[in-house]
């Protein structure tokens, strides 16, 4: 573990995805998106706050014209379990009508956030909407959802780092950790 950050983590933690593995997988996702969206100039919409680091790294692996925007929703409050109520904190500024939209999430657990976003975007007549998530928790799904590009499937445990928080902290860790 990077000594610089060891004081930020609780005593019981383990690294599950290293910086190098994240970088490699994002390269692969970027290549797939570049190929599929060639000449389509997609609008890539990051879901704040969790996806900000993933979004920044992902778009630098996308070698085609694209635009970016952000939306901010929250469901967790300061707990480790989702409240189930999604709140829109900041809407997008762009017009998605007739455009190809790619929504970038940090992690999908129950699927409620994705479902909320899908309903919201499809109501604005985009040409297409696809979802990319760095992480998907196995066995966490409560509602039906479909993710088009998945970075890693992980077990149903609480993770932090690389943008993901616990009570707003630990987003600045460069790798992904399970904490207890
Ligand atoms: P869902 O709506 O239950 O699918 O939860 C998705 C959102 O909850 C994500 O965008 C994250 O912000 C947050 N979340 C879910 N699991 C975790 C976790 O293990 N660590 C940190 N945030 C999480
Ligand atoms: Mg979060």
Interval 141-172: pLDDT, tens? 899 999 999 999 999 999 999 999 999 999 99
- The protein residue with its alpha carbon nearest to ligand 1, atom 6, reads 108
CATH hierarchy code of domain 19-156: 3.40.50.2020
Between the CA of 16 and the centroid of ligand 2 the distance, in Å, is: 18
Between the CA of 167 and the centroid of ligand 2 the distance, in Å, is: 8
The pLDDT score that the predictor gives to residue 85 is 86
The whole-model pTM stands at 0.95
- The protein residue with its alpha carbon nearest to ligand 1, atom 19, reads 158
Mean pLDDT of 113-127: 95
The span from the CA of 174 to the CA of 161, in Å, is 6
Does the beta carbon of 115 sit less than 6 angstroms from any atom of ligand 1?
A: no
The span from the CA of 112 to the CA of 143, in Å, is 6
- pLDDT digits 0-9 by tens, 31-86: 999 999 999 999 999 999 999 999 999 999 999 999 999 999 988 555 666 667 89
pLDDT band at 3 (very low <50, low <70, confident <90, very high): confident
Which positions are annotated as active-site residues? 109
Between the CA of 165 and the centroid of ligand 2 the distance, in Å, is: 6
Query: Which atom of ligand 1 lies at the shortest distance from residue 82's CA?
Result: 3
């Amino acid at each position: 573990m990077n000594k610089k950050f060891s004081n930020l983590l609780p005593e019981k933690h383990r690294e599950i995805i290293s910086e190098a593995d994240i970088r490699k997988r994002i390269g692969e996702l970027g290549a797939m998106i570049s190929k599929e969206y060639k000449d389509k100039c997609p609008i890539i919409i990051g879901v704040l706050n969790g996806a900000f680091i993933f979004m920044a790294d992902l778009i630098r692996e996308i070698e085609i014209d694209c635009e970016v925007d952000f939306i901010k929703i929250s469901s967790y409050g300061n707990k480790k379990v989702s409240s189930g109520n999604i709140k829109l904190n900041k809407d997008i500024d762009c017009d998605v009508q007739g455009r190809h939209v790619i929504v970038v999430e940090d992690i999908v657990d129950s699927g409620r956030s994705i479902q909320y976003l899908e309903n919201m975007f499809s109501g604005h007549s985009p040409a297409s909407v696809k979802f990319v998530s760095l992480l998907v928790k196995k066995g966490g799904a409560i509602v039906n959802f479909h993710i088009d590009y998945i970075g890693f499937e992980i077990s149903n445990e609480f993770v932090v780092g690389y943008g993901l928080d616990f009570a707003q902290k630990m987003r600045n860790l460069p790798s992904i950790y399970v904490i207890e």
